[in-house]
Amino acid sequence: MKSFPFCFPALVIVLGCKTAEEAPAPAASTIPAHPPAATASLVGDYAANGDSISLREAGGRLEAVAWKDTLRKATVEPATVAADSVVFEGRAYRRLALGPASGNVFRITPRAPYDELMKTALAASPPKEEGDFLPTDLVELVTLDSTIKLDIRYAGTDNFMSSKFYSSPRAFLQRPAAEATVRAHQALKAHGYGLLIHDGYRPWYVTKMFWDATPDPLRIFVADPSQGSRHNRGCAVDLTLYDLETGEPVVMPSGYDEMSPRAFPNYPGGTSRQRALRALLREAMEAEGFTVYETEWWHFDYKDWRRYRIGTARFEEL
pLDDT at 14 over 80: no
Least confident window among 27-41, 122-136, 221-235: 27-41
231: containing domain? 114-124+132-317
Nearest to 301 by CA among 194, 173, 211: 173
Q: What share of the chain in percent tops pLDDT 70?
A: 86
The answer as to whether 105 is a domain residue is: no
Q: Residues 89, 60: one domain?
A: yes
Domain-located, residue 4: no
pLDDT at 80: 58
**Same-domain status, 53 and 162:** no
Check: pTM over 0.85? Answer yes or no: yes
Flag whether 24 is in a domain: yes
What's the confidence (pLDDT) of residue 90?
80
Q: Which residue has the higher pLDDT, 267 or 15?
A: 267
Q: Are residues 182 and 305 in the same domain?
A: yes
pLDDT tens by residue, 153-188:
999 999 999 999 999 999 999 999 999 999 999 999
How much is the mean pLDDT over the chain?
A: 88
pLDDT value at residue 29: 55
Say how far apart CA 19 and CA 235 lie, in whole Å: 42
User: 167: exposed, middle or buried (C-beta count within 10 Å: 0-12, 13-18, 19+)?
Assistant: exposed
Q: Among 4-8, 27-31, 51-55, 64-68, where is mean pLDDT lowest? A: 4-8
Q: What is the DSSP string of 125-138?
A: -PPP--S-PPPP-E
Q: What is the pLDDT of residue 92?
A: 87
User: Rounded to whole angstroms, how far apart are CA atoms 237 and 197?
Assistant: 7
